[in-house]
Structure 1
Amino acid sequence: MGSTSEGDHGFAGVGRRALIKRSAALGLVSVPAMSFLSACASGGGDDTGAGTAEGKTSKGNPFGAKKGSKLDVVVFKGGYGDDYARAWEADFGKKLGITSSHTGTQEITGKLQPRFNAGNPPDIVDDSGAQKINIDVLYKNGQLLDLAEVLDAPSVDDPARKVRDTLIPGTLDPGMQEGKIVALNYIYTVWGLWYSGKLFEEKGWQPPKTWDDFLAICKDAKSQGIGGLAHQGKYPYYINVALMDLIAKKGGLDAMKAIDNLDPKAFVGSDAAQAAAEAVYEVVEKGYLMPGTNGLSHTESQTRWNQYKAAFITCGSWLENEQLKQTPPDFDMKFLPMPPLSGSALPFEAIRAGSGEPFVIPSKAGNLPAAKEFMRRMLSKEWSTLFAKQANSLTILKDGVDPGVRLRPGTQSTVEASKAAGDHTFRYLYTEWYGEMGTALEAASNELMARRIQPKEWLKRCQAAVDKQAKDPASKKNHRD
């Protein structure tokens, strides 16, 4: 997933667009802050790192990052690439005299798990992709730094304000474990359907605003030898964009929170979940899937979609940047909120939106002062703009991109969708809180899309995953009101 997950996160997973004038100027929607029953228990962030490279503190260097020291940076090289991080590192070296060792990879677990186990982790990590190390696992093992010190530090752009006060409301929530922010989800992402403006114009299709309209286009596409819906079959995270969005829209925020809160009727006994499963399964039963999509990776499926072999694809907003080389110049990529089922509680304009691409500082990082300062500068307008230029996406920093940046069509459409959504935004948190459960839900969806199980069995398997997670005493420390 680009950022997402290579599937996950897309986060590979997840989103990028050619930027954004100031988010305020764009009228970017603010994500409502979420309430949690937080309890700071044992485990989690351990601030006693191995960081010995300490220099003198100052207003411009509050953590005492030491000139001449080195910073070990590992970045998930997915949909956003890693050129943005290299640009940051170059600026960091120029301004502070701190050099960086850089690793861009999709093999986060393979490369980093041995280092975490040995007590020799990098200094800062973009822990994303299909092979990410689950944040909840790192937290429970005491391997993540509590980021409160960074978030309470003075902003680079306005030292009179704390860093946390410069961020889009609600964007810190996904990085929370038991009341502590231990991961900084840096990129503001939207999830939903995508289509080609060129193809739709040629076929005379109008962007669907209901699920029935969506099915009608899929049917017409099939009659013309085009797949209706493509999905990244090897990474069922992506089809869960459709399933989970439909649940939230059909049943409203209560249906979404029931899943995050491990409700005994989150799936079995949920009319919204049943309706969503049956709706997506109808796409499978009627042969509206792009042929072969169940066996394709994210990039393979997305590239075939770019070749006009399917009308729609599910993804997060990292899609445009991830597919830059494969997208025809006149493709006219467009984002679409998930078309709601009949009788849905949330309107068509409602979108899943929030922060993705979690950056973490290991508690045993060798250069903690530099790692903290690096993260603080990530949340400056200068570095946010650098990211925008390199990765075609918005960050969680309010008013975070210099004006005058030209937006790509997909990016522009996500900005417009965010404005249209207004307060109708939602975001699941089980993906950050319960990695094992999330994997189980994806496995069930994989079976559903392959027609090896039907909706009733999908509901049972999903509920079993929820019930299993609920038996973990630590789960009671995460809750949404």
Structure 2
Amino acid sequence: MAVVAAAATSLSPCGDSGAASDSRNLTYWSMWTENEPQTAVLKSVVADFGKDTGSKVDVQWQGRTVLEKVAPTLATGKVPDLVDQTDDKLYPTLAQPGRARDLGALLDQPADGEKQKLSRTGVNRYMGHLRKSPDGARVWMVPYEVLSVGLWYNGADKNVKAPATWDDLLDTCAVLKKEQRGCIAVDGDQAAYTAWWLDYLVDRIGGDGTMARVIRDKSGAGWDDPAVRDAAAKVAELVDKGYLIKGYDASKYPEQQNRWAEGKAGFILNGSWLPTETHKFAALGFDTRFAAFPSVDGGGGGATTDVRLLGFSVPAQAKHADAAERFISYFMAKKHLGGVAAGAGNLMPRDDIDAPNGRTDVKKILESTKPREQLAGSTPDFNEKVLFPAYQELFFGKTDADGFVGRRGARCRLQQHRGAPLGRPGMATPDELGCPADRRLPAHTRPRAPVPPLHVVPPAAPALRPTEVDLRAVPAPRDARATSGDWAAEMWSACGSPRDPASAYLEPSEQRCSVRGPGTTGTCLTSTSRSTGFSRCCGRSTPNTPMCCSPRTTVS
């Protein structure tokens, strides 16, 4: 599953359900595409819902970029009534900015046609895994599928068994290497897949939540945690001893996971979707098994297992939110959700629904261990700009553990990414850290030549108040500070546009952020400070109301 990454309104935080109107019909924007196996099962449930309730569900199969299409609608109020995606993507789009309806009542009542509360069917096991909404109380998502990551292996291979400890894994790798077989398969172009090794190891060594504290430490001092260096050293050992399958560093997904299914490697750290993707390549007699990530002798971490949830959210602006909730209740009933498990081959959050073929081990481990979030506290932007670039140099053998955590490693990239010294007084600057010159600062902080003024209609009065501007007619001059660069792409994606930018730049004196993309130009004025308002090309015209660039919006 290599694919599984707003303008001001008067909406109250986290969605005030009182604003929604009741209706029998609803609009559902799905993360699935028209021809996927999952879609056929969903269509069946939608059809049954219509027959049983007389309601009509207008489903639009938007695909994995569904939330990029939802984001611009938040500026207009013409939002879908129901959307689905993974929790890490729903959170920044709907929950974090307070644009998700509270669905807590659904958990406190039985699913359609049942007697037991939905919360008591096993769903509550995973609700604590979700990041908190701004008020810390709202239920902004109801999960209908559970994804996890662990070590997969062939149970029929006499030389491979589930490793209880890290040393057990190394011992098996040594045996396989003598047989001139790969020990660990991984597709090197999937940065997240490679980073799972570090993520798990840091928590196994330092204790649950260690990686989250490292990531959330804005000073950069978290990278000095001994657990990080120890974990990096163990990853480097896999590389140095040749335990990673040959060619991993130049492979393209799904090349190496298919080679694992063919028996060319003993293990692969991958998600619960793996059997679906590899069954056509599995060798004769292949027994697909799943094991928890091994413990580390002397480590402080307990038995935790990665969890990623896939489920429904209702935008707080939805006009037919009540109908959307009725559909969720209908969908979550065992008789319907069980069909999704069988038809799509995925795990469900309910205890009373059997795991599909190849996922029995996954279900048992999830039910017997504490869930943990993958790279907890991270954002796609942080991963792409800070963690992945530094870590992949380690994973590809270009640096060692000291290089990863040291002067030219992850902390350096954190400083580069933020563009200024952070955290404690006297903390080293990127120059003092010895950061590579070509990656020293984000483009928007570098000196530049003057740019022509923007042709934007200014507010009629000094006080900030809305002014309607057709942003498609606003020229956005190219700027040397960020031309088709990562920073520009970050800003554009944060604003929810599916288009890539041609250029992006900042006008600090006018507190204005501008982005230009193919066929679309956006300009936003903001009243926020530079440290919080401009890093994502999004501002806040009021403390709780986000504001973003879009083809046509209201700027202040």
Q: What is the TM-score normalised by the length of structure 2?
A: 0.64
Match of 1:45 in 2: 14
Q: Identity over the aligned pairs, expressed in percent?
A: 24
Q: For each residue in 1:194-215, what CA deviation from the matched residue of structure 2 results, as whole angstroms up to 9, or x when unmatched?
A: 11223x22xx333322222322
Q: Corresponding residue for 2:143? A: 185
- Displacement of 1:383 in angstroms is 2.2
Q: Offset of 1:109 from its aligned partner?
A: 4.9
When residues 176 and 377 of structure 1 are mapped into structure 2, their CA distance, relative to the original with a 3 A threshold, is farther
Q: String of CA shifts for 1:428-462, please: whole Å, max 9, x gaps.
A: 37546744334433343333222344323433554
Alignment-derived partner of residue 542 in structure 2:
none
Kept in 1: contact 2:308–2:374 (CA 8 A): no
- Distance (Å, rounded) in 1 between the aligned partners of 2:252 and 2:13: 34
The answer on whether the counterparts of 1:79 and 1:319 sit within 8 Å (CA) in structure 2 is no
Which residue of structure 2 aligns with residue 412 of structure 1? 360
Tell whether the 8 Å contact from 1:79 to 1:321 is kept in structure 2 after alignment: no
Distance across 1 between alignment mates of 2:319 and 2:400:
50
Deviation (angstroms), 1:341: 2.7
State which of 429, 436, 442 in structure 1 corresponds to 2:388: 442
Aligned 8 A contact 1:351 1:426 in 2: yes
The alpha carbon displacement at 1:314 in A equals: 0.9
Query: Using the alignment, how far apart are the partners of 2:271 and 2:110 within structure 1?
Result: 32
Secondary structure, counterpart of 2:359 in structure 1:
helix
SS class of match (1:181) = coil
1:395 aligns with 348
What is the Cα deviation at residue 193 of structure 1?
0.9
Deviation per residue, 1:154-192 (Å, 9 max, x gap): 433545x54334434441121532312222333234321
Is the alpha carbon distance of 1:146 and 1:382 closer, same or farther for their aligned partners in structure 2, counting shifts above 3 Å?
same
SS at structure 2 position matched to 1:365 = coil
Alpha carbons of structure 1 residues 119 and 287: separation in structure 2 relative to 1, 3 Å: farther
Equivalent in the alignment of 1:377? 330
The equivalent of 1:74 in structure 2 is: 30
Taking a change above 3 Å as real, the CA distance of residues 83 and 260 of structure 1, as seen in their structure-2 partners, is farther
CA distance, structure 1, for counterparts of residue 337 and residue 413 of structure 2: 38
Q: 2:83 aligns with which of 122, 125, 134?
A: 125
Partner of 1:28: none
Structure 1: segments with no counterpart, 5+ residues:
14-41, 56-65, 475-481
Alignment of 1:335-346 (within 5 A): 335-346=290-301
Other-structure match for 2:112: 156
User: Comparing 148-157 with 315-324, which one deviates more in the overlay?
Assistant: 148-157
Residue 215 (structure 1) aligned to one of 163, 166, 170: 170
Which residue does 1:365 correspond to in 2?
318
Change (3 A) 1:441 1:119: farther
**Amino acid in the other structure paired with 2:382:** M
SS in 2 for 1:384: helix
CA distance in 2, matches of 1:79, 1:221: 37
Match of 1:276 in 2: 231
CA, structure 1 residues 102+175, in 2 after alignment: closer, same or farther (shift >3 Å)?
farther
Distance in 2 of aligned mates of 1:45 and 1:299: 39
In 2, the alpha carbon distance for the partners of 1:366 and 1:294 equals 49
- Stretch deviating more after TM superposition (112-121 or 460-469): 460-469
Shift, 1:103, TM fit: 0.5
Q: Aligned ranges for residues 402-481 of structure 1 at < 5 Å?
A: 407-408=356-357, 410-418=358-366, 422=368, 424-428=369-373, 431=376, 434-439=379-384, 440-459=386-405, 461-462=409-410
Superposition deviation, residue 398 in structure 1: 3.5
**Residue in structure 1 matching 2:268, options 299, 310, 313:** 313
Deviation at 1:242, TM superposition (A): 1.9
Aligned residue for 2:496? none
Alignment pair present for 1:197 and 2:155: yes
Greater mean alpha carbon deviation, residues 73-82 or residues 162-171: 73-82
Write the distance in 2 (CA, Å) between the matches of 1:122 and 1:153. 24
* Residues 108 and 117 in structure 2, CA contact (< 8 A), matched pair in contact too: yes
- 1:254-273 matches, within 5 Å, as 255-256=210-211, 258-259=213-214, 262=217, 267-273=222-228
Aligned residue pairs total 409
Q: Is the 8 A contact 1:82 1:104 kept in 2?
A: no
Rounded to whole Å, the distance in 2 between the matches of 1:464 and 1:186 is 40
> Are 2:305 and 1:352 equivalent residues in the alignment?
yes
Displacement of 1:303: 1.7
Any idea what the Cα deviations from partners look like across 1:328-375, whole Å, max 9, x if unmatched? 45221111222233322346xx24144512432222335322211122
Shift of 1:43: 6.8
Work out which of the two has the higher radius of gyration on C-alpha atoms and give 1 or 2: 2
**Letter paired with 1:93:** G
**Counterpart contact for 1:123–1:365, Cα < 8 Å:** yes
SS in 2 for 1:238: helix
2:42 to 67, 78, 85: 85
* In 2: Cα distance, 1:125 partner to 1:360 partner: 6
Query: For 1:254 and 1:115, how far apart are their aligned partners in 2?
Result: 36
Is the Cα contact below 8 Å between 1:248 and 1:255 reproduced in 2? yes
- CA deviation after TM superposition for structure 1 residue 74, in Å: 0.8
Offset of residue 104 of structure 1:
5.6
- Residue 14 of structure 2 aligns with an amino acid whose one-letter code is G
Q: Is the 8 A contact 1:335 1:414 kept in 2?
A: yes
- Over 3 Å counting, the alpha-carbon distance change for 1:367 and 1:263 in structure 2 is same
Superimposed CA distance per residue, residues 38-86 of structure 1 (whole angstroms, 9 cap, x where no aligned partner): xxxx97522369854x24xxxxxxxxxx1xx343231245997433322
* 1-structure distance, mates of 2:306, 2:323: 31
> Could you say what the CA RMSD is over the residues aligned between the two structures, in angstroms?
3.6
Q: CA deviation at 1:385?
A: 0.7
Structure 1 residues 79 and 315, CA gap change in structure 2 (3 angstroms): farther
Q: Take 1:432 and 1:84, find their aligned partners in 2: how far apart are those partners?
A: 33
Note the 1:21-36 alignment, pairs <5 A. none
Does structure 2 conserve the Cα–Cα contact (< 8 Å) formed by 1:222 and 1:228?
Answer: yes
Give yes or no for contact 2:306–2:374 (8 Å, CA) kept in 1. Answer: no
Relative contact order, higher structure (CA 8 A, sep 6+): 1
Q: What TM-score do you get using the length of structure 1 for normalisation? A: 0.72
* Structure 2: stretches of 5+ with no match in the other structure: 6-10, 424-530, 534-556
Alpha-carbon contact 2:216-2:377 (below 8 Å) kept: no
| CA-CA distance at 1:295 after TM superposition | 4.1
Give 1:228's aligned residue.
183
